[in-house]
Amino acid sequence: MAHALTLDDVRQKLRIVKPKAAGKDTPVTIAYPTTRVTALEDGLNLNRQDGGLVKFTDMSLLLAFRLDSDPDTWYMELFVYGQETPFRLSQKVINYRQFLPEISQRSKDNFYAFFLYLINKTDSVYVDEYTLEFLKSRKMISYPDFQLYEDYTRQLWFQLITWMKFRCDQCGEVYWVDDAKISPKGAKTKCVKCQNIITVQQREKPKPLVPKEQRKTNPCPHCGYENSEGAQFCVMCQKPLVDFIPKAAPQPEPSPQAGAEQPQEQQEPQPPSKPKASLSLEFAGLPLQAREQRSPNLSLRELSSALQDDIKTLENPFGWFTQFSRIMQWLGFVFLAGGILLGVYIYYVMPAPALPKVLTDTQRMTYAGISAGVGFLLSLACIIVSNIIALTLEVERNTKVTALLIQRLISKQE
């Protein structure tokens, strides 16, 4: 089982920024909304038609908040080095399965774990005091509307937009510096931790998003989503936008002597050979889901083995129901045995009371029968409840197994 990140694991990477009065020329930080967040090897794919590929190393400021009108939806504001406008990620648009080793039933728990995941992936990142309180106690700051929140983030981001990170190549210590202080030829500084001399070069700022009127898109023939120009896979359905045809191996040219010996002979045209499916394709830079779809198909034996491995990893959030079901079964036998023993004790062992309170044989038989009957009914109730619980759990598990099998069979056919 993978270790779940905690605040103590990422505390060393956090830095605090406090709001300051912004000047009149400070731009307003109106965020770009995102509709889907998927994973890349070294960052996030925000799946925007005008861009939205964010590297972990470019993240400078992370904020968390919610609105008074919708307290059940949490938001993350992601600020990228050199860009005036941040990205706004809702808890409902993040594909958590591509980032987290374990998925919770509660979306807010996944959002909190994803927040820690981003901090852990970056070298160092700034947060405000409200976000730090959220990481400590999971208490989210709330605002009346987006406009007031953007006025607040404007007081934070103008302080950090030009600040870049660099790392000591000897001890790995991370530092922040205003890129205006770095000349085109670079600058040298000394690491405080190990006294190593570090040469800092100007960092290339991420390219801004392309305006809407200048966007060039490539529509997906499968789902109609407008992908960015040059995309090879649709970011919405993960299906290929172009046909991958590996180049055939170049044919060796005939030697001059062979051509001279048979000048009159006409060679018949050879039909083009089909490219082998075993040729490797380039997967670098593609979404993780797309890479899985382009992976070679498994044999039926490998498919069965992989399916069994997946079945073993199925989550069982109602595992305590299984223990409860077993306890109810044992209680059923205990009640049945207790009722029978109590009836035997009343009829055969219990001494007859002194006169005049003497129980007749008929009364003793009646009470003994009642004890055995009550024990039987309690036992029957316990067994019925346990069987209902066990059947419900088995139906849920079979549903998940069937879904896995259908998924594997579909991938086999593709």
- pLDDT > 90 fraction of the chain, expressed in percent and rounded: 22
Q: Is 121 within 8 Å of 56 (Cβ atoms)?
A: yes
- Please give the average per-residue pLDDT across 169-197, as a whole number: 87
3-state SS assignment for residue 114: helix
Residue 259 or 85, more confident: 85
CA 354/CA 363 separation, integer angstroms: 15
Tokens encoding 171: 């001890």
Q: Is 13 within 8 Å of 141 (Cβ atoms)?
A: no
With 50 as the cut, is the pLDDT of residue 219 above it?
A: yes
- Please give the average per-residue pLDDT across 393-406, as a whole number: 75
pTM (predicted TM-score): 0.54
Strands in 37-93 per DSSP E: 38-40, 43-48, 51-55, 59-67, 70-80, 87-90
- Condensed to tens digits (0 to 9), the pLDDT of residues 366-384 reads 888 888 888 888 888 888 8
pLDDT score for 88 = 93
pLDDT score for 215 = 56
Which DSSP string do the residues of 383-410 spell out, in sequence order?
Answer: HHHHHHHHHHHHHHHHHHHHHHHHHHHH
With 60 as the cut, is the pLDDT of residue 392 above it?
A: yes
| C-alpha 312 chain-centroid distance | 20
pLDDT score for 188 = 86
3-state SS assignment for residue 192: coil
- Condensed to tens digits (0 to 9), the pLDDT of residues 63-114 reads 999 999 998 999 999 999 888 889 999 999 998 988 998 888 888 999 999 9
Which DSSP string do the residues of 258-317 spell out, in sequence order?
Answer: HHHH-SSPPPPPPPPPPPPTTS----TTS-HHHHHHTSPPPPHHHHHHHHHHHHHT---T
Strand partners, 40: 43
pLDDT score for 239 = 74
pLDDT score for 303 = 58
- Please give the average per-residue pLDDT across 115-140, as a whole number: 94
- 163-167, 253-257, 389-393: least confidently modelled range: 253-257
pLDDT score for 229 = 66
Tokens encoding 202: 């100007």
Residue 122 or 51, more confident: 122
- Give the chain's mean pLDDT: 76
- Diameter of the chain measured on Cα atoms: 135
| C-alpha 327 chain-centroid distance | 36
- 49-58, 87-96, 229-238: least confidently modelled range: 229-238
With 70 as the cut, is the pLDDT of residue 142 above it?
A: yes
243-272 core/surface letters (b: 16 or more CB in 10 A; e: else): eeeeeeeeeeeeeeeeeeeeeeeeeeeeee
Q: How confident is the model at residue 1 (pLDDT cuts 50, 70, 90)?
A: very low
pLDDT score for 11 = 92
Q: Is 293 within 8 Å of 412 (Cβ atoms)?
A: no
With 60 as the cut, is the pLDDT of residue 249 above it?
A: no
Q: Is 35 within 8 Å of 145 (Cβ atoms)?
A: no
- Please give the average per-residue pLDDT across 112-122, as a whole number: 94
With 70 as the cut, is the pLDDT of residue 126 above it?
A: yes
pLDDT score for 89 = 93
CA 48/CA 210 separation, integer angstroms: 10
pLDDT score for 263 = 46
pLDDT score for 300 = 59
Q: Which residues lie closer than 8 Å to 298 by C-beta, 6 or more apart?
A: 306, 412
- Please give the average per-residue pLDDT across 337-364, as a whole number: 70
CA 59/CA 54 separation, integer angstroms: 8
- Condensed to tens digits (0 to 9), the pLDDT of residues 291-342 reads 444 444 555 565 566 566 555 555 555 555 666 777 877 877 788 888 888 8
pLDDT score for 47 = 74
Rg of the chain in Å (alpha carbons): 34
pLDDT score for 144 = 93
Q: Is 127 within 8 Å of 63 (Cβ atoms)?
A: yes
Q: Which stretches within 146-236 are classed as H helix?
A: 146-160
Cβ neighbours, 10 Å, residue 121? 18
